[in-house]
Structure 1
Amino acid sequence: MKTIELSEPFDPQIIPAGKVVLATGFFDGVHCGHQQVIKTAARQAKKMSCKLAVMTLDRHPMIVFQHVPTKQIHYLTTLKHKLKLFQQLGADYVYVIKLAGTLPQMPPQEFVDKYMVGLHAAAVVAGEDYTYGKHTIANMQTLPEFARNRFQVITVKHVLFGQKKISSTMIRRLLDTGQIDLANQLLGYHYQNTGIIVHGKQLGRQLGFPTLNLKINSQERILGEGIYATKVRLSGKEYLGMASIGRNETFGANQQLTVEINLLNFSKMVYGQQVVVNWYHYLRGQVKFANAQALIEQLKKDQRQTLNYFQK
């Protein structure tokens, strides 16, 4: 897969020759709805003997169009993870468009001419709510007018869960409330975070449950407070773990939010290393225990529950 970054104005010479079927959207999370768009484009590409291209943006549209500060945006998938998922879905090219400069104000016809026709699209595939400018004039219903018979327009209907469309917003709400099992179902894979192992207060080690204290990538969304069953990739190996997202209220009020993971059958010192955490299952909510011994007894139960979950 080849990744091509485009910023306005771009040199047409950097666009690979040959027709493509272009799947387009922001695709935060690359959830089941997004996957349906890309899989539809992949089938069309095979039918038309074209390459499969995916077009996305380098930042969340809310940063530009709603002036939300960058530090307030927490992605379901960073660009690096998104590219990996695109590759797994069979993309030959990914165009990452820089949403800056004159691009946000670009008229719909110019955008279609440059970023669809200019990318050699034989067909453009997108979800039914995709827009490429003001939603009232630059939507999938008006795209055939701007296309002017130069490419096919394929609109993919929403993938529903119950009566509601699967959306990034829905998945964010699920993550915020700890509903990781359902969030994973709608994502089509296990939600993950990347982090660096940092020094903590070593409270877990004192209790007999040493933990990895993680500093999560600031761009990534962290799940709601609770105890979770996880798998952690560290130094090329994968380990089972039980994770705590919370404030350690048993040891005092107004503590900072921490992400700590007790790996089963692992006790090495690995400060400074990067880990990838795959979140599997919600075990329970956070509890303020009467004393350390009560917490230890609960941690033993959590460990058994984690093992039981993965054995099933």
Structure 2
Amino acid sequence: MQIISGTTEFHIEEKTAVAIGKFDGIHLGHRKLLNYILEQKKDDLKAVVFTFDPSPEEFFAGQSISQLFTREEKRNAFEKLGIDVLIEFPLTEVTAATEPEDFVRRILVHQLNADYIAAGTDVSFGNKGRGDRHLLRSMAKEMGYELELIDKVRLDGEEISSTRVRNEISDGNMPMAKRLLGAGYSVSGIVEHGRHIGHTIGVPTVNILPPDNKLLPPYGVYSSNVSFDGAVYRGMTNIGRKPTISDKERVGVETYIYDFDADVYGKYMEIELLEFLRPEMKFDSIDALKKQIESDLERAAK
């Protein structure tokens, strides 16, 4: 997958099918939208995702907002789905002031060579967000592209949105988050060295330190699936600060992997959180912690 990031100067020679959106959660609604452009690959159109960096919410709020997907996770997800080109268009004071008609003509049609455009019915772009589905529709014939507008997807009678996904994750409801996303909610990153306390008590773990803006569910213990080097393993994951060890620990994602013995330090790993088992607790001693972990491992294994 080609990634075009941090520049407004680009041009794609081949005809493309472009999906416009925030794609902040890649939930079922986003997946439906992406499927439309992926289907156009059979007609030799390149599947292109156009999104903004930073997100409009972050840009206009002027501060970082917790992310369902980190940049790396989002890129990996798009690549797995079969996207050919990802545009991370820089959102600045200058680009945010682009007139909507100019956005369609110059960026979508000229630079992206769009032959097909897919967007949600709530699509918004250009100066003061004045670009919308009506503008895209009115310019389609003149600019020579086909337009597909996708309605909101509903689950259990309620619209699927990134806010709804965030709420479920914040409540620790991982099975519902998985239904909304169409895939399990994951935390991924490079495995780092920890204090190796797990090794000393016979429960070795791998440690990932997610970025501060990664949305995490409530601190505690979760059953999990671990994807590493093309294989999937069962695991048990603790998210939190490990209060029994220290009250100054950075928030980490610490996972015991069943039937696993490999050197993973410095390598990329993805942890899918399956089900919340118990909240994070502070124990009076390392022995008490070990006893609870052994109980957790039995429960998670089931």
Give the TM-score category using the shorter length. 0.7 to 0.9
Query: Per the alignment, in what secondary structure is the counterpart of residue 244 of structure 1?
Result: strand
TM-score by length of 2: 0.85
Does residue 87 of structure 1 match 2:79?
yes
Counterpart Cα distance in 1 of 2:97 and 2:249 = 45
Does residue 223 of structure 1 match 2:217?
yes
Aligned match of 2:31: 35
How much has 1:307 moved relative to structure 2?
1.7
Does residue 66 of structure 1 match 2:54?
no
How much has 1:7 moved relative to structure 2?
2.6
Report the residue type matching 2:27 in the other structure.
Answer: H
Counterpart Cα distance in 1 of 2:266 and 2:39 = 43
How much has 1:183 moved relative to structure 2?
1.0
Indicate the percent of aligned positions where both proteins have the same amino acid. Answer: 29
Counterpart Cα distance in 2 of 1:271 and 1:87 = 24
Report the residue type matching 2:56 in the other structure.
Answer: P
Q: Deviations over 1:126-169 (max 9, x none)?
A: 11111013566322133223445322322101011233321222
2:98–2:127 Cα contact (<8 Å) kept: no
Counterpart Cα distance in 1 of 2:261 and 2:46 = 47
Counterpart Cα distance in 1 of 2:84 and 2:193 = 41
Moved more, 104-113 or 137-146: 137-146
Does residue 50 of structure 1 match 2:42?
no
Does residue 123 of structure 1 match 2:128?
no
Q: Give ranges in structure 2 of 5+ residues lacking alignment.
A: none
How much has 1:285 moved relative to structure 2?
2.1
Aligned ranges 1:1-312 → 2 under 5 Å: 1-5=1-5, 7-8=7-8, 10=9, 14-17=11-14, 19-43=15-39, 46=42, 50-68=45-63, 72-100=64-92, 102-118=94-110, 119-133=112-126, 137-147=130-140, 149-150=142-143, 151-234=145-228, 237-250=231-244, 256-266=250-260, 270-289=264-283, 291-308=285-302
How much has 1:209 moved relative to structure 2?
2.0
Moved more, 166-175 or 31-40: 166-175
Moved more, 162-171 or 123-132: 162-171
What is the total number of aligned residue pairs between the two structures? 300
TM-score by length of 1: 0.82
Structure 1 169/279 Cα, relative in aligned 2: closer, same or farther at 3 Å? same
Q: Deviations over 1:40-98 (max 9, x none)?
A: 2334564x663332212232222322212xxx333222333323333333333333322
Query: Per the alignment, in what secondary structure is the counterpart of residue 275 of structure 1?
Result: strand
1:175–1:223 Cα contact (<8 Å) kept: yes
Q: Give ranges in structure 1 of 5+ residues lacking alignment.
A: none
Counterpart Cα distance in 1 of 2:255 and 2:60 = 38
Counterpart Cα distance in 1 of 2:251 and 2:48 = 40
How much has 1:39 moved relative to structure 2?
1.1
Counterpart Cα distance in 2 of 1:89 and 1:273 = 22
Moved more, 19-28 or 90-99: 90-99
Report the residue type matching 1:80 in the other structure.
Answer: E
Structure 1 139/260 Cα, relative in aligned 2: closer, same or farther at 3 Å? same
Structure 1 226/22 Cα, relative in aligned 2: closer, same or farther at 3 Å? same
Counterpart Cα distance in 2 of 1:182 and 1:59 = 28
